[in-house]
Amino acid sequence: MTPEPRESAAPTTSQPGAFRLDGKTAIVTGAASGIGQAIAMRFAATGATVFLMDIQREGLENTASLISTCNAASAHLLPCDVTDARAVSEAISRTAAGERIDILVNSAGVSSIGNLLSTSDEEFDRIFRVNVKGVFHCMQAVVDPMKRQGGGVILNLASIAASAGLPDRFAYSMSKGAVLAMTFSVARDFLADKIRCNAISPARVHTPFVDAFLRRHYAGREEEMFAKLEKSQPIGRMAVPDEVANLALFLCSDAAAFITGADIPIDGGFIHLRG
């Protein structure tokens, strides 16, 4: 005998507003530029109230200005160093005192060039403080408010470097592997509290960081090296921040209510289609 179908407990993509965040409050770290800025702008464009967190206040002000120009939703500045546990706790406590915290996106991060032998203690610690402890501090600060309000969504920016074995990315790969491990652990530990936790693993994304990196290391050869980096992606180009923001919007919306403990690559085929 075929069981009777149960009523759906969550919106489906056929329902209006499934890919919107109306009435939700989101904290986005690394919101001063690049992927974090694109995610913050996309969330605001789809109805969220967005709290912008970054150590670069000028960049935050620029993001807030872009949001106010394009959207009716509001944006608030949370200038903060994610490596400072107390500063993060205080900033998020102030936010939670006046708002629900429906969504946390951990996008703040720094990169590093070097292999096991060329990576110094100082460089390893720098990457660990920002990319690992920064994510740890922010997640730890939002979980209790999310538990009290009956749930929430955490989205961490990992990287294909966590699993693809990129050359000369030893410390960076270490840090993103830790982000993935923390993602899976938090998803499991707070499943009963209705807190979803997922990760996105991008391949190369064309951000201001990429342009600065090429200017610093390949002065006079920027166009040549940019083309080489694009060709390393099977799809033939880098991603743009808006494409990552689209995926972030889906994963943080009610349309993804059945997704937790997942790592979603957005890599132009890099992991599985490389020749």
Per residue of the chain (275 residues), give pLDDT as tens.
444 544 444 444 344 456 899 999 999 999 999 999 999 999 999 999 999 999 999 999 999 999 998 766 679 999 999 999 999 999 999 998 888 999 999 999 999 999 999 999 999 999 999 999 999 999 999 999 999 999 999 999 999 999 998 999 999 999 999 999 999 999 999 999 999 999 999 999 998 888 887 888 789 999 999 998 898 889 999 999 999 999 999 999 999 999 999 999 999 999 988 86
In terms of Cα–Cα distance, which of 112, 57, 106 is closest to 82? 106
In terms of Cα–Cα distance, which of 33, 27, 37, 42 is closest to 249? 42
Q: Give the whole-angstrom CA distance, residue 30 versus residue 207.
A: 12
The per-residue pLDDT for 14 is 40
> Which residues, other chains included, contact 242 with Cβ-Cβ below 8 Å and sequence gap of 6+?
38, 42
Q: Give the whole-angstrom CA distance, residue 17 versus residue 46.
A: 9
Give catalytic residue positions. 172
Q: What is the DSSP letter of 6?
A: P
The full set of domains in the chain, from first to last, is 25-203+241-265 (3.40.50.720), 204-238 (no CATH)
pTM of the model: 0.91
Q: Say how many C-beta atoms besides its own lie within 10 A of residue 103's C-beta.
A: 27
Q: Give the whole-angstrom CA distance, residue 55 versus residue 91.
A: 12
